[in-house]
Structure 1
Amino acid sequence: MATSLPDPSGPAATGRTDTPTIPRRRIIIASLVGTSIEFYDFYVYATAAISVFPLLFFPKGNEGAAVLASLATFGVAFVARPIGSVLFGHFGDRIGRKATLLGSLLTMGIATFLIGLLPTYQQIGVFAPALLAIMRFCQGLGLGGEWSGAALLTTETAAKGKRAWAAMWPQLGAPIGFFFANGLFLVLTLAFGHDSTKPLFDGPFLTWGWRLPFLLSIIIVAIGLYVRIKLEETPVFARAVARGEKVKAPIGVVFKRNWVQVVQGTFIMLATYGVFYLMTTWVLSYAIGSPAQGKLGIGYGNFLILQLIAILFFAAFVPVSGWLADRFGRRSTLLVITGLIIVFGFCFGLFLDRNAMGTGASANLGLMLLFLCVGMALMGLTFGPMSAVLPELFPTNTRYTGSGVAYNVSSILGAAITPFVADALVQSVGVGWVGIYLAFMGVLTFIALWFTRETRHRDLDTLEDEVATVAVATTSP
């Protein structure tokens, strides 16, 4: 369905900005708290997929095979995420953003809590990894619906000229969630004296301590629900409903009318996903893995401290990217940042080769910290504008579905297989090729950005330039 021009007397025609009836501060808090909880749940699993699940949920034997199997269950969520974006996107475009955001939060929270209750392989055999994969799938469904709703909540209520700045708030949920997920694991490993290089299967951490971050999620989910239940629908969505623009099957309309934008959005996000999951999930497995497996053998606790420091750079550069995207445009900003990601990819060997880094107690932790901080700074710069860029590609009546599908299909290409491929590359041809793999994803993103029009001045009601929309409306008879 084509998106019609708004009524000439409406806000878009007169040049007025969208003014939500609830305070903007509450909108910011609701989007930030919700995405922080969702990403916390998601990253708690990512951390455990390297440090806990290979030991407890898969048969004992080859260490490398157990890690790859654990990473495979980690990737299950990324298969679920596009399904979640279609499911929650359907309701988000049909009945509204608020109810869908509540549903996605509950889906993620309940699945995370249940992971903390699962029996291990030693208790129920192959059913343990099977149940783990099912819960991971449910996590993916929840996050698949969460991101789009939070992004639309902020973009569709943003002040004029400040849309990228408003949209960066839910993006901050990623570093916040990651910080608390890893921070809690660090506290637990220190409190229980867990050493990843010499794990004690009958020690308190592997016996029950690892479950605490999953079980605690139910409390913070309740907080998130309390914050979000007071929300109202966005004015952009309300006007679309008033104009009679709702469609029966948003996913069908997206692939009929906006398939080009889905492809563009998918590849625009590709390098962002690649750099993040290399800098978090894969690098954790490479850093703490056994030198006998071609890895570094850094202590788990020591590496978590480095990651927690680096994640601050991620958080610091998200607002910077929002300001840059409003000031210089989304396309120009992301083209420069993607170019830097490509260059960074070619530097992996200089940072991470074992001859340069060292292994075990002699590993150069300062060099590792530099590598992590550079990567996380680039992640903040590329991730920050995405919650403005992707929604701006789609009309209101399919925006939830369209932006969600692009975002989450990209997660399969850039995130689901990335830790698995990277680990295989290390074992076969060396760590430098992991960076080349990232550079390749960066090139694909650069091409997608090059052929995408600038969206900074688009009116979300019409997807036309805001100045042109006002001119047409005011000169019409």
Structure 2
Amino acid sequence: MSSSVTGPDATPATAPALPLSPRVPRSRVIMASLVGTTIEFYDFYVYATAAVAVFPALFFTGQDDTAKLLASMATFAAAFIARPIGSVIFGHFGDRIGRKATLIGALLTMGIATFLIGLLPTYYSIGIWAPLLLTILRFCQGLGLGGEWSGAALLATEYAEEGKRARAAMWPQLGAPFGFILANGFFLVLTLVMGFVSVAEQGADHPFLTWGWRIPFLASVVMVVLGLWVRFKLEETPVFQKAVEQGQKVQSPLAAVFRTSWLQIIQGTFIMLATYVLFYLMTAWILSYGIGKPENGGLGIPYRDFLVLQLLAVLLFAAMVPVSGWLADRFGRRSSQLVITTAILLFGLGFGLVMDPASVGTGADVSMGRVLVFLTIGMTLMGLTFGSMSAILPELFPTNVRYTGSGISYNVASILGAAITPYIAVYLNANHGVGAVGLYLAFGAVLTLVALWLSPETRDVDMENVVTRR
């Protein structure tokens, strides 16, 4: 048996150019990979925003605000438990029947679950069934996203030209900041139009909390229809087509990837770890910290004001994604990520100095400029580390187990680095202060640095390489 990368000392083969079929314009490949991930991340962020600002008041009971937020974060984490399962299910079909059909199934799974969340009755209507159904639909969101990312990354990398794979692979990564802007921008506009500030100030009977929050979930159906239209017009990738023509498909991709590429799964998981920890500290947890009551360890910034800060900072996230792809093609995946992850470690060590309430202020006295600088640095690092991941993880695996292998790595990392991150961060901040949250990020960065140091450079691997069937 063989694998495209077998360990730190492997000598990769030079990848041949893979010209696009004349029937498949490059713009269509870009659109298919970008639109799908934008929709998927929009759906995911809509939930993340609601999990902080809406669900604690509507789906959970009790007087303790921190306890309700933790319960809401627990449902948020359910999707990350589902994502590795989704990567196995969709990875099986992606490696067996093709990338195109599998991506359509992943998009439908995510889209239907998101739409149904917008129709859910609250705890005050159906009692305990409300958080239970919310958790089930959140789980289904995770299944869809678990199959989406690796498929979109494969569309980009398996169509890419020689020497430009990371720059091509950055397109699906742009779906993350674009989805964030759409989701949070939608919530910002709604709160402005409906005059909503916070539950504490206006109560749970405000129109935004009775029906307004549902609109972003229901509106996702329009985006799903657009995504389906683009993907139905797409053709299968030339790399997968060649594997089919040569009879190189494996009967059980899951068994094959663990038999031939178990080391790459471990490497990919920990290479992605710090990215995930940073990602969900800068999106889900930071929102709860920024708008949280000062007596509960938060900064007390009005919800709308904080959303504006996040939306400004996420522009740097989007801008750095193509820079990340260029750096990875120019200097190599491993070298560029070692430098960026070191910067993430230093950023984590600075949390206490920059964002402690005693120094940044709270409520009307908070330094908004200082908070914006913190968010901007975090989002800049996020774009730099995230942009090339859609090249790095697929390059670790052979063609006929690539969908399954890259999906498992990406989504197991989501459990270790994202599922519990907002929950742990809320707990650490409440009991030990914001500096402890930064140490948590620094620890994740150390683990990623070790994984990168022990992993090979994958810039020049042959994307047509396959594992020997058994």
Asked whether the two chains share a fold, i.e. TM above 0.5, the reply is yes
Q: Confirm or deny: 8 A CA contact 2:15 2:162 kept in the other structure.
A: no
Task: Name the structure 2 match of 1:64.
Answer: 66
TM-score between the two structures when normalised by the length of structure 2: 0.95
- Decide which of 404, 408, 417 is 1:405's aligned counterpart: 408
Q: Confirm or deny: 8 A CA contact 1:392 1:463 kept in the other structure.
A: no
Task: Name the structure 2 match of 1:261.
Answer: 264
The amino acid that maps onto 1:118 is L
The amino acid that maps onto 1:29 is M
Query: In structure 1, how many angstroms separate the alpha carbons of the residues matched to 2:287 and 2:170?
Result: 26
- Decide which of 210, 215, 220 is 1:207's aligned counterpart: 210
Query: In structure 2, how many angstroms separate the alpha carbons of the residues matched to 1:202 and 1:437?
Result: 37
Asked if 1:233 is matched to 2:236, the reply is: yes
- Decide which of 174, 177, 182 is 1:175's aligned counterpart: 177
* SS in structure 1 of the partner of residue 161 of structure 2: coil
1:13 to partner: Cα distance: 9.8
State the identity %: 66
Cα-to-partner distance string for 1:104-150 (whole Å, 9 max, x where unaligned)? 00000000000000000000111000000000000000000000000
The amino acid that maps onto 2:263 is V
Query: In structure 2, how many angstroms separate the alpha carbons of the residues matched to 1:450 and 1:3?
Result: 20
Task: Name the structure 1 match of 2:446.
Answer: 443
- Decide which of 161, 173, 176 is 1:159's aligned counterpart: 161
1:158 to partner: Cα distance: 0.2
Query: In structure 2, how many angstroms separate the alpha carbons of the residues matched to 1:399 and 1:16?
Result: 18
The amino acid that maps onto 2:253 is P
Asked if 1:359 is matched to 2:362, the reply is: yes
Query: In structure 1, how many angstroms separate the alpha carbons of the residues matched to 2:281 and 2:379?
Result: 10
Q: Confirm or deny: 8 A CA contact 1:18 1:156 kept in the other structure.
A: no
Task: Name the structure 2 match of 1:51.
Answer: 53
Unaligned 5+ segments in structure 1 are 5-11, 465-477
The amino acid that maps onto 2:54 is V
Query: In structure 2, how many angstroms separate the alpha carbons of the residues matched to 1:279 and 1:16?
Result: 37
Query: In structure 2, how many angstroms separate the alpha carbons of the residues matched to 1:67 and 1:380?
Result: 28
- Decide which of 127, 132, 140 is 1:130's aligned counterpart: 132
Query: In structure 2, how many angstroms separate the alpha carbons of the residues matched to 1:14 and 1:395?
Result: 13
The amino acid that maps onto 1:89 is G
Query: In structure 1, how many angstroms separate the alpha carbons of the residues matched to 2:418 and 2:17?
Result: 40
1:60 to partner: Cα distance: 3.2
Question: Residues 118 and 193 of structure 1: is their aligned pair in 2 closer, same or farther, counting only changes over 3 Å?
Answer: same
Task: Name the structure 1 match of 2:431.
Answer: 428
Asked if 1:185 is matched to 2:187, the reply is: yes
Unaligned 5+ segments in structure 2 are 5-12
Cα-to-partner distance string for 1:146-170 (whole Å, 9 max, x where unaligned)? 0000000010000110000000000
Cα-to-partner distance string for 1:18-51 (whole Å, 9 max, x where unaligned)? 3234011110011111110000000000000000
Query: In structure 2, how many angstroms separate the alpha carbons of the residues matched to 1:136 and 1:87?
Result: 17
Q: Confirm or deny: 8 A CA contact 1:306 1:369 kept in the other structure.
A: yes
1:428 to partner: Cα distance: 1.0
Matches of residues 268-417 of structure 1 in structure 2 within 5 Å?
268-417=271-420
Query: In structure 2, how many angstroms separate the alpha carbons of the residues matched to 1:253 and 1:318?
Result: 32
Query: In structure 2, how many angstroms separate the alpha carbons of the residues matched to 1:20 and 1:338?
Result: 37
Aligned residues, how many?
457
Q: Confirm or deny: 8 A CA contact 2:34 2:175 kept in the other structure.
A: yes
1:359 to partner: Cα distance: 0.7
1:16 to partner: Cα distance: 4.3
Q: Confirm or deny: 8 A CA contact 2:3 2:397 kept in the other structure.
A: no
The amino acid that maps onto 2:20 is T
* SS in structure 2 of the partner of residue 394 of structure 1: coil
The amino acid that maps onto 1:171 is Q
Question: Residues 190 and 397 of structure 1: is their aligned pair in 2 closer, same or farther, counting only changes over 3 Å?
Answer: same
1:15 to partner: Cα distance: 4.4
Question: Residues 396 and 364 of structure 1: is their aligned pair in 2 closer, same or farther, counting only changes over 3 Å?
Answer: same
Question: Residues 360 and 399 of structure 1: is their aligned pair in 2 closer, same or farther, counting only changes over 3 Å?
Answer: same
Query: In structure 1, how many angstroms separate the alpha carbons of the residues matched to 2:152 and 2:16?
Result: 25
* SS in structure 1 of the partner of residue 209 of structure 2: helix
TM superposition outliers: structure 1 runs of 4+ over 2 Å: 1-4, 12-21
